[in-house]
Amino acid sequence: MTFIWPWMLLSLLLVPLLVREYRRLVRRRADRRAELAAVGLVAPRAVSSGRRRYVPPVLLLAALTLLLIGLARPEATVAEARREGTVVLAFDVSGSMAATDMTPSRIEAAKAAARTFVRRQPSTIRIGVVAFGDSGLITQQATTDRATVLAAIDRLTPQGGTALGRGIQTSLSLIAGKTVQLNDDNGSIEANGQDLGYHGSAAVILLSDGENTSGPDPLEVAQVASTAGVRVYPIGLGSPQGTVMEIDGFQVATALDEPLLRQIASTTDGEYFPAADQQALAKVYRSIDPLWTVHARWIEVTALFAVAAALLLLSGVGLSFAWFGRVI
């Protein structure tokens, strides 16, 4: 326990002074009763001799002590249990995301659905943002500050190619709190000997058209995510029929690659959704398994001391009146 105003504890020096004055009062009262009893004005049996006569004063003294401690504004550590989870919004920001086979474009449809998802999450869910094209970049660490997350989403613009594997890898780095290095030996990808831990309360929402143009293999990176307990929920953006768009003066055909996105979902025990709609993202949240965590928090407990002092004060006064017909 700590105190905001520790110097107020000096007021406790009043307690022994009050004890001394009370004992002096009791002696004077006893002497006076003895004098009156000697001349027959008070019956000798009226002099109280039981131990219970000390109970009310002790209760009043304890109440005063608690009030004086309360003046120092005590603080205590309180264990606070709550359910927490982490969601990473991994946005494909490749050039193909500017295609208009979704209104007004794939990237804008993804951002609109993600904004709605962010606003509807409970305060205990931390949300991070990853942008990936040819490489992956954490644009916002996981936080409960919704305004910061929304600002990070608004800044996203499409450009470059698509590396789905990098997107998942960067999302794992955000969840694990460290850079996840991938090792490509013997044709298989693994976490380069790193212990990523188990993150069953974390999920990655992969908003992409699924057109992978560079390594690493997204399915093998998805397997790494599955080993760490992280589910990936791909959200397909665009139409399987596709469209043609102009990039740097060239006509480029682009279409939604649903089979690859479905395989990524299956590998991580996630689920694929064919459109970035609100219902799909809501289902993603329901699939997350938040964990119970305990956080230590310092809070001021002055009120508790005041309540305890009031109870002791009322008890002391009540007993004194009931037994002796006076407060002290």
Question: What CATH number does residue 103 fall under?
Answer: 3.40.50.410
Kindly state whether residue 81 falls inside one of the protein's structural domains.
no
Strands 74-92 and 202-208: parallel
Q: At what angle do helices 258-267 and 164-176 cross, to 10 degrees?
A: 30
Same-domain pairing of 67 and 117 = no
Strands 183-185 and 188-190: antiparallel
Which structural domain, as residue segments, surrounds residue 137?
93-289
User: Strand, coil or helix: what is 153?
Assistant: helix
> Which residue's structure tokens are 């044709």?
187
Give how far Cα 40 sits from Cα of 43, 46, 49, 325, Å: 7, 12, 19, 22
Strands 202-208 and 136-143: unpaired
Residue 301: pLDDT above 80? yes
> Which residue's structure tokens are 């693994």?
190
Kindly state whether residue 82 falls inside one of the protein's structural domains.
no
Kindly state whether residue 250 falls inside one of the protein's structural domains.
yes
* Displacement of CA 131 from its chain's centroid (Å): 24
Same-domain pairing of 106 and 248 = yes
Kindly state whether residue 107 falls inside one of the protein's structural domains.
yes
Kindly state whether residue 86 falls inside one of the protein's structural domains.
no
Q: 223: closest CA among 136, 165, 286, 290?
A: 165
pLDDT at 46: 47
The structural domain count of the chain equals 2
- Cis before 6 (ω within 30): no
Same-domain pairing of 229 and 120 = yes
pLDDT at 277: 55
> pLDDT by residue (tens digit) across 67-102?
888 888 888 877 666 667 889 999 999 888 888 888
Q: Which residues is 202 bridged to in the sheet?
A: 86
Same-domain pairing of 280 and 318 = no
Report the percentage of the chain scoring pLDDT > 70: 82
pLDDT band at 280 (very low <50, low <70, confident <90, very high): low
Same-domain pairing of 273 and 167 = yes
| Cα–Cα distance, 161 to 41 (Å, whole number) | 108
What would the mean pLDDT of 290-305 be, rounded to a whole number?
72
Residue 150: pLDDT above 70? yes
Residue 19: pLDDT above 90? no
Same-domain pairing of 166 and 314 = no
Kindly state whether residue 199 falls inside one of the protein's structural domains.
yes
Tell me the two tokens of residue 32.
């006076």
Alpha helices in the chain (DSSP H): 14-38, 55-71, 106-119, 146-154, 164-176, 218-227, 258-267, 278-287, 302-324
Same-domain pairing of 148 and 210 = yes
| Cα–Cα distance, 141 to 136 (Å, whole number) | 13
Residue 288: pLDDT above 70? no
pLDDT band at 278 (very low <50, low <70, confident <90, very high): low
Same-domain pairing of 123 and 254 = yes
CB atoms within 10 A of CB 306: 15
pLDDT at 24: 85
Window from 134-143, 168-177, 297-306 with minimum mean pLDDT: 297-306
pLDDT at 27: 80
What DSSP line would sit under 196-240, residue for residue?
Answer: ----TTEEEEEEE-----SSSPHHHHHHHHHHTT-EEEEEE-S-T
Strands 231-236 and 243-247: unpaired
> pLDDT by residue (tens digit) across 40-53?
666 665 445 467 77
Q: 109: closest CA among 273, 258, 286, 283?
A: 273
Q: Is residue 232 classed exposed, middle or buried when 0-12, 13-18 and 19+ CB atoms within 10 A define those classes?
A: buried
Contact, 225 vs 268, CB < 8 A?
Answer: yes
What would the mean pLDDT of 194-215 be, rounded to a whole number?
85
User: Strand, coil or helix: what is 43?
Assistant: coil
Same-domain pairing of 218 and 169 = yes
pLDDT band at 187 (very low <50, low <70, confident <90, very high): very low
Same-domain pairing of 130 and 181 = yes
Same-domain pairing of 265 and 227 = yes
pLDDT at 292: 55
pLDDT at 127: 93
CB proximity list for 130: less than 8 A, separation 6 or greater: 88, 89, 90, 91, 136, 137, 138, 139, 167, 170, 171, 174
Kindly state whether residue 85 falls inside one of the protein's structural domains.
no
| Cα–Cα distance, 268 to 233 (Å, whole number) | 8
Give the residue with greater pLDDT, 277 vs 75.
75
Same-domain pairing of 301 and 157 = no
Kindly state whether residue 104 falls inside one of the protein's structural domains.
yes
Q: 173: closest CA among 202, 207, 213?
A: 202
Give the residue with greater pLDDT, 241 vs 203.
203
